Amino acid sequence: MFKALREEIKTIFEKDPAAKSVLEVVFCYPGFHAILMHRFAHLLYKKRVPLIPRIISQFNRFFTGIEIHPGAQIGRRFFIDHGMGVVIGETTEIGDDVLLYQNSTLGGTGKEKGKRHPTLGDRVVVGAGAKVLGAITVGDDVKVGAGSVVVRSVPANTTVVGIPGRVVMSHGQHLSAEEVLEHGHLPDPEAQAIKCLGDKIRDLEQKIEALSKGRQLPELQVVPGEQEETSCGVDLGTTQEEG
């Protein structure tokens, strides 16, 4: 038990540069309080103790602003930064070393029974205000950008942003501690697509002007094996692939 407490406190120091002392963590970190109460509620839930786990969960919500259903399975070294507004559903499964920021949701969709909440792998980061919904799988080392809404499974070692979420970057390796905390500095696929469209409009205007003046347009040189670009490599018409 004391080993687990030390591990939780160490995790906070590693993931929150604002942490100054052990006493500050113990008395002032709602994410720390929430995970401790959840561990106890989950233990009672697994032993099929009626009602009491839910009462603990509701007290946890009132005291910390974090709602975790006692049925949720949470791995080691889990940290919720700030925490207000975080919701974690009953059938959620969370791996080790996962980081959640404030106002994020791991929720369900519809009224189906059984598994209806997401499964998160190890070292996943869910940015502030992000929503991960449904019985989907988010692979290891995934970053979910702040404010994103993820409704389809996400492959490991990627970054997903937008509404609905789209994979915009592949890491191919573990993220450093600094990269993990940068959940707000993310690619902007919409801006890239708009810039590309602007470039193409200018190109078409030049061609129209040349035609209106009777000049002959140069032949389009297409490199064999390459496909003509239509969106600068940014696909805004599809979300990430199903897992």
Least confident of 45-54, 124-133, 183-192: 183-192
Q: What are the sequence ranges of the domains in the chain?
A: 2-181, 188-217+228-243
pLDDT digits (tens, 9 = 90+) for 123-182: 999 999 999 999 999 999 999 999 999 999 999 999 998 888 888 877 665 555 455 555
Topology of the domain covering 2-181: UDP N-Acetylglucosamine Acyltransferase; domain 1 (2.160.10)
pTM beyond 0.95: the answer is: no
What is the strand order of the sheet 149-150 is part of?
A: 67-68, 87-88, 105-107, 131-133, 149-150
Contact status, residue 165 vs residue 150, Cβ threshold 8 Å: yes
Report how far residue 12's alpha carbon sits from residue 23's, in angstroms, rounded to the nearest whole number. 12
Residue 191 is predicted with a pLDDT of 66
DSSP string, 214-229: TPPPPPP---TTPPPP
